[in-house]
Amino acid sequence: MPEESEESLAEAFRGVARQLRHQTLRALAPWDVTPSQARALGVLTRHGPMRLGTLSEHLRIVPRSATEVVDALEMACLVERRPDPDDRRATLVALTSRGKEVAAGVRAARAAEAEGFFARLDEADRTSLARILRTLRN
């Protein structure tokens, strides 16, 4: 039977998640973007211009929240709204050239932070952890 002072698996997981959140905030600070905005930049980088509804689906957030994210990115000149060439009533959200630069910088910073964080694990542990996390996610 575990001692009372032993940390539960869930507590340990939450502690690691908290560390990763703080690390993410530090990695994003130079670009003055939030985690939600960084995710939107990543989606637009991977998939190109898209309608706001499609972006909200990719981000798994309600359209109103996606509008707020896009509004903030547009104010920062990282995205722009364009007419949809296939439907003149619709609007596409697209990265600006500055948005592409910021997205690339964010991606590189987050990768470097993650590499440093997981460097404490040997290759076998990293492989096992990746497998376990995929199983839990799915």
pLDDT single digits (tens) 64-115? 999 999 999 999 999 999 999 999 899 999 999 999 999 999 999 999 999 9
Tell me the pLDDT band of 4, cut-offs 50, 70 and 90.
low
Residue 121 pLDDT: 96
Top CATH class, 18-113: mainly alpha
* Closest listed residue to residue 69, CA positions, set 60, 87, 48: 60
Closest CA to 78 of 58, 56, 103: 103
Question: In degrees rounded to 5, what are phi and psi of residue 20?
Answer: -65, -40
Element (H, E) at 5: none
Residue burial 98-114, b: 16+ Cβ < 10 Å; e: rest: ebeebbebbeebbeebe
Radius of gyration of the chain (CA): 19
What is the residue extent of each domain of the chain?
A: 18-113
Mean local confidence (pLDDT), 42-63: 97
Tokens of 70: 């896009």
Which residue in 48, 41, 58 sits closest to 103, CA to CA? 41
Cβ proximity of 58 and 120 under 8 Å: no
Q: Is the pLDDT of residue 122 over 60?
A: yes
pLDDT of residue 38: 97
pLDDT computed for residue 2 by the predictor: 52
